[in-house]
Structure 1
């Protein structure tokens, strides 16, 4: 009887989605809110000013919370922190460049190949392994992204894609994957410290580009900029905590949920009507994400950090 009860408890435990993956799901929701606000604010403000505004808010919040808890920016992982911040900013810059040079659907679907690159990088850099089932689920999720984004180079295009735009989108995907792996390497570093360094480096790098073309916000525009920062902070915290507690390949694959949330915002805010293929893609993404989240680690694989 005891063995039967233990087996039943184990099966129930196997079906529970890990805290790390829950953080990633919440991160996806936060980033989708950020994207919504950026889309609304982008009608008035230059992109780099929005990057600067969000970085200022995030850096301020992360530092304030760190000090309130009695934490310190002193860490033995300074090199990794700076590298992660530089790589993250480069990934963001490449993605924005790709969005400018390519249709948004193409830029998005290419960028969301980063879970595949993350899994590849995690093998030599982290010693992680993905089972065949997890690879298939990750690829299924990517297929769902293609159906939602419906890039013209797959569904019909009158003109060829800009080669620099494609290169930038792929570079953004690889750089984002490297940033995720670097976060995974910093398991023992406070999440607020990681988020603060990324935001602080972004402020320093974005400021020169913003100074010459700044638009002064008025009234409710300040609230929109603040909302971008708050949503970004929530997304960064969720992403950092999730990657510290879950294997990189599985964790970043759950980020596909951001596409589903973005589709929902499009319907609710902009009155977009998704096509049947987009609905099918969203269903595939959700199904693959849930199945991936419930996949058990290999025997002998070290548990995620708490």
Structure 2
């Protein structure tokens, strides 16, 4: 069903929760926790908490699914995307890594044209070019504070977000948010656990508290994110994603004593404007298709 106001609220709450998770991931990185291990606890804690919650309520039947293969495919893409997303957070300042994530709608347009063979007009292509120009402003040749590898990881993460958003929308048609989140953890945790054989597990109480916070905030954000796509389309809720820049800037200032340079403040609005143009155009196209279907 479509409940646009609820979908927008859920997406906004998801961005707030995920911003906390990314901030804690960066803190964990500064304390020497390896990225594969952070990923493991990010997945293991939510899966364990969900399983315990549903078992206590006698609702384990919620986890039944007829689309196990689709969940496995989503886990493969989601795990890769999560590795890139968290990697970009460690390699780059929070605000800059967040802005790179805003290129996801542009990749969605490219995927629609290349993979789905959908007609893409000049408005959306212009928005894609505008967004890429914004990224060039942020990552200009004189911006030595942004490593090229980190920028590549951030752009790769945005591409995976575009792919995953399509998968979540498809799963949301038949699966409850808790089901999607649980199977994502169930498929990825055993694979990530293999990395612990190499890194080991040696942490103090503060590290464990941070890792648990990563899992909890990630779980809450993922549930809200999946639920938002259950009640609204990607093009209608994606506007809320841009609130993440405000959160990333706030956490970067409060926790890491970092404020974005002038180039980021100039480039970020360009990227955000490109995303908003795409979202606006997608909304118009959705209304046109809905009106055509109703007339037919």
TM tier relative to shorter chain = 0.7 to 0.9
1:175 match? 160
* Conserved? CA contact 2:46–2:219, under 8 Å: yes
Pairwise CA distance, 1:76: 1.7
Say whether residues 1:88 and 2:101 are aligned partners.
no
Name the CA shift for 1:158/1:204 in 2 (closer, same or farther; >3 Å): closer
1:270 match? 256
Q: Which runs of 5+ in 2 are unaligned?
A: 292-296
1:10 match? none
Name the CA shift for 1:278/1:160 in 2 (closer, same or farther; >3 Å): closer
* Conserved? CA contact 1:94–1:168, under 8 Å: yes
Residues in 2 aligned to 1:159 and 1:267: alpha-carbon distance in whole angstroms: 17
* Conserved? CA contact 2:47–2:186, under 8 Å: yes
Residues in 2 aligned to 1:127 and 1:301: alpha-carbon distance in whole angstroms: 20
Name the CA shift for 1:191/1:140 in 2 (closer, same or farther; >3 Å): farther
Q: Which deviations, in whole Å up to 9, do the C-alpha atoms of 1:2-44 show, x marking residues without a partner?
A: xxxxxxxxxxxxxx96221222221111111011111112223
1:79 match? 69
2:294 match? none
1:222 match? 208
Say whether residues 1:199 and 2:185 are aligned partners.
yes
Pairwise CA distance, 1:213: 1.0
Pairwise CA distance, 1:82: 0.9
Residues in 2 aligned to 1:118 and 1:72: alpha-carbon distance in whole angstroms: 31
Q: Tell me which moved more, 276-285 or 34-43.
A: 276-285
Name the CA shift for 1:159/1:246 in 2 (closer, same or farther; >3 Å): closer
Say whether residues 1:256 and 2:242 are aligned partners.
yes
SS at match of 1:212: helix
* Conserved? CA contact 1:27–1:238, under 8 Å: yes
Pairwise CA distance, 1:157: 5.5
Name the CA shift for 1:112/1:73 in 2 (closer, same or farther; >3 Å): same
Pairwise CA distance, 1:196: 0.9
Q: Which runs of 5+ in 1 are unaligned?
A: 1-15
